[in-house]
Structures are given as C-alpha cells and as structure tokens.
Structure 1
C-alpha cells in the first residue's frame, strides 16, 4: 500500500548528486522538505525551491534531533564517497559515526520512517555472485567499501531496537553532472587523460541517478518496506564494455593499452607511496584503494526492488549519453 498523504521529509545529503534529485521528486509529490546541510549559504538553489534549510553536520550530534523533529520521514543520503583519501579516517567519521549520530537523532526525534541509502559495495567481495539482498558479506577491498558496510551495521542495529528503517543499495550511479568517481573516469576517457585501462573482465551493475531517486521516494511511501533491503540496479557492464560504450558515444577512441592485473595493482601501490613522499595526489586517481575497487566490482539483479517498488530502469547507454551531453564542449 502506498501512502500518498503529503509528508514532512528531512533529508541529509540533499545537495549531493542523488540528493538533489530526491528533493525534486519529493517536492513534485507534494511533500514538504527540510534539508540538513553543513553550509546553508551554499544551498540557495534548494531554498529557491521552497526547501527549509537547517544547518547540521552528521559528524556532530548536536542539533540533529531538533532538525528532524516533526519529520514523518528521514532520507539519509549523507556519506563520504571517494576512492582514495590520504587520511582514511574521514570515511569512518561520516560513514560509520555519522550514521550512528543520524540514527540516534531520528530515534530521539520520533521520525516515522527512515530510508537509508547505502551502496552495493557494502556486500564486499561476496562469495555469492550475482548478489541478492540475502547474500553473504565478503572481504572489503578498501576503506570506502568497509565503512559503508560498518555504517550499515549501525543502521540495522537501530532497526532491531525499534527504528523503522528501509535500506537501499544502489549500483554504480550514473547521470548528467556526476561529480563522483565514475564521472571523473568518463571525463578522463573523453579528454584522453586515461591512456591505459585495466581489469577489463571485472565490472559493475550500474543505475541511472533518477532511478535511484525514484526508488528512494517509493521506498518511503510504501508501508510494507520497513525492515527490507533493496538492491537498486540491473544492467551489468564489464570495465571493458563500459570503456567501449563511452568511446562509442563520445567518438573518442578507447585506450588501447590494457595493464595486466598485477601491474595495475603495482601502479596503485606506487602512486600511493609517491603521494606519501611528495604530498602530490595520485595521477589519474590511480591509488591502492582505487585499483582495488576496480578489481573487485559487483554484479546483481533487482527482482525484489522491481517487484516491491515497481521499478523499471533507464538504460545505462542513456545515462552515459546524458552525462556526456552535460560536459562543457560536449562531443557526444
């Protein structure tokens, strides 16, 4: 059953790639939105849409419960997503302790329902392939993957203690204006700043950002989703197929040189060591963490989300095309 009554919705991460789309869908559905943002002076575009802005930081528990008080739903999107950080403590501060602060605040504020948006990386390198929602968790290749899982465990602990939670696990999110790692990868490819490729046989399940936003709003509105987890996405592309698709749509040839796996990992280790010695960021975002990410990958289907949330998915080709068209001096 869908709850179509207009709701008051608190949103963390509202200025982000997914969050900005979620806010628009909530407003279009007639809901009232309060955005918890660290810098209200940088969120004027949300205020212009009629969103109430409240200054709050998920890494600081003070004021979070007050900011959520009166909210029927909380959509928790704030997280730290990157494939390399010189100081990896930032992942734990946001993705684990930030989750703890937000869930505790939601409990104290009496929020009626929480939609927590995680990631497929939370499952690690699961022995169960392709993944399903009940798959076993495998080793995590880097700090980002590991802290996403640890943060989810915090959320599920609160769910077991009475907080009404549903958790979404999107695949690799794509779409116009992507500021994150996948978008940076595409930009390097079309600007010929990615002279080699690696881990061709690995890959990821991808999903359009608008489909994730739709899943968030539907998961919030459906009464039966409390306590459920949903993988969001269906279309898998190997890294080779992904690069080939970017090349086809952009008209820029794909890199011809393919690094052997061992050499790719060695490059990541070398660039990470060089950063420690010089302070310079790794070239082409190649680091120990990013190569382990690309080498791991994940694959899953979406039967449960399609059945329960009524989702259908935008083709990955369209998502990449929209991203390319959003680039300055786009060639696509």
Structure 2
C-alpha cells in the first residue's frame, strides 16, 4: 500500500517508517522545509515538503495514497508561544483529517496519547472509560481537542479513523522529555525525586510502531481505539530501575509535592519572561524541563489496561526493563535513528 505519514522524523515516526517498510509499503512522508530528510531518502521513502498547518500541502502529498498515519504533533511541556500547541495539535489535526476525506484515504491512524484521559474514575482505565474532567498540561488539553475534531469527522462525515493512545514511550533515540530525564539522570543532573507514588503505564517505542502497523493493516477496525502499554511503574520504581541498570546513583533528595510545584512555578515564570526552557539552574544547555505542566503530569500519572491491543492486534509487549536498557545505551552512544531496513532489490 502507499502510505502517507506526518511526523516521520520524530522519535516514534522513525520506528514506524522502519516497521512499515519491512512490510513492503511505499511511504510518502510530509516534512517541513526546515527538516533534514536525508534519512528518509536513504531508506527509500518519498519526501514531500509541507506542513500540517498548510492544508494544501497536506492534501497534495496525500493524493494517490491508500492509507495515512498522523504522528506530527507538538509534544512538550513548555513553549515560549503557547498558541503553537493549539495550532499544531488542533488545527493541524483538522487539516490532516479533512485532507484524508478529500483525498479518499481508505484508513487513517491518528496517534494521540493516553494523557488525554486525564484522571478517569476508572483506574486502571480502558479505551471505553469516560475521560476525566481535566487535562494536566497544554499538550494534553490540545491533543484531546484534536481527538474530538477527528472523532467528530468520523461520526458526521465518515472519516475512516483509528486512534492509538500510547502510554509513556521508552526506547532508543528519544530527544524529548523522557529521553532528557534519562540523559540528565545519567549525568547526575536530577537534583531530587518527588511524587514517588504516582504511576505511569509504559510502552516500548517499537511496540508503538508495531501497534500502528497492525492497526493500519487490520481489516474491519474503523472506529476503534487502542491504548498501548502494559507495565506500570511508580515514579520511584522508574528512577530506581534507571539507577540499577545504569549504575548512576539515585538523587539524594526527596522533595514534597508542594515544594516541587513551587519550584516549577518559579522556573516557569522566569522561562516565560526570558524565553528559555525551565530547566534546573535555567542553564542554556538543553535539559529535562521542570515546568508547571511537566510537574502536574508527573504528579498525576496515568494507569491503564492496554490488553485490547494484545487481544485484537496480536501485540506482544516488550519488557520495560529492556526498553530502559536500550534507552540508556542510546543516551550514552548518542544514537537517534533506528537502523534502516534493507532496500528492496531492483
């Protein structure tokens, strides 16, 4: 099949590219003009220049494709211009979904996040659980709003939609929040732990790519939702496992929640004014973000049951211990892209 992808150069996107090419799909990848598409060309994908904020470019790239995967989003817990969250995660999603309808795409898989559920009454929650009353970051709020746009187009206009909701994604090559936490942990730059009892459901990045591929290729699943993740770790268990696997010491301090939120509030206030990310010490070095949104998310956690993907997609989850081992090794080696699949002959 000819598959259109957004976000192909992202952490999850690179793994999806590799996984879909292993099945022989022809990939058409939308990249911004500021991106470096050399890796995509190297692995044999077709590159089209555009932006999810430019619907005409999305539609032009999507024409002639059979399926689509929408991965592009603004994933961060601080931005100097917060309006970008809505622009990318809501308006960009609308552009991609409307383009899929206009281009006659047979199926589009939209990648959301388990964070859109907020804090549901069900714990662990499932795909069918009612969402909680609030989201805990601008990222989660706008991803949820983008979901609502997609599902409305599914209900009212027949958009052939499937939505994936990953948990906390681990594995080699993560340049964002989770990967930066591991990197800074190894460098001894995490000053303290906190919210130790809050827990998250984790998933290996290759399992996310596998789940996306299987959801795309599975017949008769239009309108389905899939939570991806299995193992649940408290924040303290997660940090302790990084320490065990890497040999890096645990942070010496354990801060109460009110102190963490106060520090995050001060750092975020400063960051909003100097237009630099709220990292520890306000260093210019890119590091783990200690923003109000990040700490709210860390405080709340999320625990869900991802067994539907096991039953319906045949997904087998990778142990999180292995995902962390690979992530630690990648941090130490500076790896970003997964290995490319072999190019077909001819």
TM-score (norm 1): 0.95
- Say if 2:3 and 2:66, in contact at 8 Å, map to a contact too: yes
Q: Deviations over 1:105-131 (max 9, x none)?
A: 111000110011111011112222111
Cα offsets for 1:279-321 (capped at 9, x unmatched): 4431232111111111111011112111110011111110110
Query: Which among 11, 22, 28 is matched to residue 16 of structure 2?
Result: 22
Asked if structure 2 preserves the Cα contact closer than 8 Å seen for 1:40 and 1:55, the reply is no
TM superposition score normalised by structure 2? 0.91
Q: C-alpha distance in 2, partners of 1:77/1:329?
A: 26
Q: State how far apart, in whole Å, the 2-side matches of 1:209 and 1:184 are.
A: 16
Task: Find the counterpart in structure 1 of residue 145 from structure 2.
Answer: 150
Structure 1 residue 329, shift from structure 2 partner: 5.9
Partner Cα distance (1:22, 1:228) in 2: 19
- Unaligned residue ranges in structure 1 (runs of 5+): 1-6
Q: Would you say 1:314 and 2:308 are equivalent positions?
A: no
Q: Secondary structure at the match of 2:323?
A: helix
Q: Does residue 71 of structure 2 align to residue 87 of structure 1?
A: no
Tell me the distance in 1 between the aligned counterparts of 2:308 and 2:277: 41
Cα distance in structure 2, aligned partners of 1:175 and 1:189: 15
What corresponds to 1:32 in structure 2? 26
Cα 1:193–1:60 change in 2 (3 A) is same
RMSD: 1.3
State the 1:225 CA deviation: 1.6
**Contact conserved, 1:61 with 1:102, CA < 8 A, in 2?**
yes
Unaligned stretches of 5+ residues in structure 2: 281-288, 335-346
- How many angstroms does 1:256 deviate by? 2.3
2:158 to 149, 153, 162: 162
What is the SS of the residue equivalent to 1:42? coil
Residue 231 of structure 1 deviates from its aligned partner by: 0.3
Choose the corresponding residue for 1:126, options 112, 120, 124.
Answer: 120
Distance 1:279 1:210 in 2: 34
- In structure 1, the partner of 2:50 is 56
Can you list the C-alpha shifts for 1:20-45, whole angstroms capped at 9, x where unaligned? 11111111101111001113860111
For residues 53-83 of structure 1, give each alpha carbon's deviation from its aligned partner in whole angstroms, at most 9, with x where no partner exists.
0111001112211210111100110001011
Q: Secondary structure at the match of 1:21?
A: helix
Residue aligning to 1:96: 90
User: Where does residue 253 of structure 1 map in the other structure?
Assistant: 249
Given that residues 79 and 277 in structure 2 are in contact (C-alpha distance below 8 angstroms), is that contact kept between their aligned partners in structure 1?
no
- In structure 2, do the counterparts of structure 1 residues 29 and 282 end up closer, same or farther at CA, with 3 Å as the change threshold? same
Residues 1:304 and 2:308 are matched in the alignment: yes
**How far, CA to CA, are the matches of 2:85 and 2:319 in structure 1?**
31
Report whether the alignment pairs 1:72 with 2:76.
Answer: no
Q: Distance in 1 between matches of 2:276 and 2:78?
A: 13
Please point out which of 227, 232, 235 is paired with 2:228.
Answer: 232
Checking the alignment, whether the CA contact within 8 Å between 1:83 and 1:293 is kept in structure 2 is no
Assess, with a 3 A threshold, how the Cα gap between structure 1 residues 41 and 80 changes in structure 2: closer, same or farther: closer
Report matched runs for 1:258-297 at 5 Å: 258-284=254-280, 285-297=289-301
Match of 2:100 among 106, 121, 124: 106
1:328 and 2:322 correspond: no
- Report if aligned partners of 2:32, 2:50 keep a CA contact under 8 Å in 1: yes
Conserved in 1, the CA contact under 8 Å of 2:62 and 2:103? yes
Task: Please give the alpha-carbon distance, in whole angstroms, between the structure 2 residues aligned to 1:328 and 1:163.
Answer: 43
1:147 match: secondary structure: helix
1:193 partnered with 2:193: no
